[in-house]
Amino acid sequence: LDIHALLDYAKVLYPLLVTPPSKPVRANPTWMGCFTKRTEICESLYFAGVPVWLVHHELLIPS
pLDDT more than 70, % of the chain: 98
**Measured distance CA(38)–CA(20) in Å, rounded:** 17
Number of compact structural domains in the chain: 1
At residue 54, the pLDDT reads 93
Look up residue 61 and give its amino acid: I
Global confidence as pTM: 0.79
pLDDT at 1 over 80: no
Taking CA atoms, 60 is separated from 4, 34, 39, 57, in Å, by 38, 20, 13, 6
At residue 51, the pLDDT reads 94
pLDDT at 19 over 90: yes
Quote the domain boundaries for residue 16.
Answer: 2-60
Is the four-CA dihedral 28, 35, 57, 46 of positive or negative sign? negative
